[in-house]
């Protein structure tokens, strides 16, 4: 799949994962690469961009038997943007779906 196209959707996926609860970077990377065909390393640039845009925040949390983990959490701005973008994406996806299915009708 086109990577440029995928990137925008991946941002939405990351926001969705963070909406449910705070997670650390590896957790997000694992979850996404299990469900979507992407290189493991692409999640970290996205997290960084979301942070520099003020959509997520980070904090360090001690873990038993290991170095502290960097957790990501949604900011209020992140929440608002996620709600907005999700709706936009679902409308868009529905429209594309209808459009793509029309050519099957034509062939009949």
Partner 1 sequence: MTKNEYLSRLGSELKKNHVADWEDIAGEYEQHFAFKLADGFSEEEIAAKLGSPETIAAQFASEKGEGGQGSGSRVFVTAAMSFVALFEGMAYLLFFAWAVAVSAFSLASAGIGAALIGNFNTAGLIPEMPYLSALIFGVCFLAFAVFLAAGSYYFFVYAKQIVKASIRWHRNVTSGNTLPPLPWNPQFSAKTGRRLRTVLLWSVTVFGTSFILGMVVSQLLAGALGFWHAWNWFVR
Interface residues toward partner 1, by CB under 8 A: 25-26, 29-30, 33, 39-42, 44-45, 48-49, 52-53, 66-67, 69-70
Query: Shortest approach of partner 1 to residue 9 CB, angstroms?
Result: 15
> Within the chain, where are the H helices?
3-20, 25-35, 43-52, 76-107
Q: How far is the CB of 66 from partner 1 (least distance, A)?
A: 8
Task: Name the 3-class secondary structure at 106.
Answer: helix
State whether residue 73 is helix, strand or coil: strand
Query: Residue 16 and residue 78: Cα distance in Å, rounded?
Result: 10
Closer residue to partner 1, CB minimum distance, 84 or 91:
84
The least distance separating partner 1 from the CB of residue 52, rounded to whole angstroms, comes to: 7
């Amino acid at each position: 799949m086109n990577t440029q196209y995928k990137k925008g959707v991946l941002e939405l996926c990351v926001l969705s994962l963070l909406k449910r609860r705070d997670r650390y970077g590896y957790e997000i990377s694992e979850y996404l690469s299990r469900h979507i065909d992407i290189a493991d390393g692409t999640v970290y640039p996205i997290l960084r961009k979301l942070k520099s845009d003020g959509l997520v925040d980070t904090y360090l949390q001690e873990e038993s038997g290991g170095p502290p983990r960097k957790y990501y959490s949604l900011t209020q701005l992140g929440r608002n943007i996620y709600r907005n973008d999700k709706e936009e994406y679902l409308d868009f996806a529905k429209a594309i779906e209808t459009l793509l299915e029309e050519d099957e009708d034509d062939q009949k």
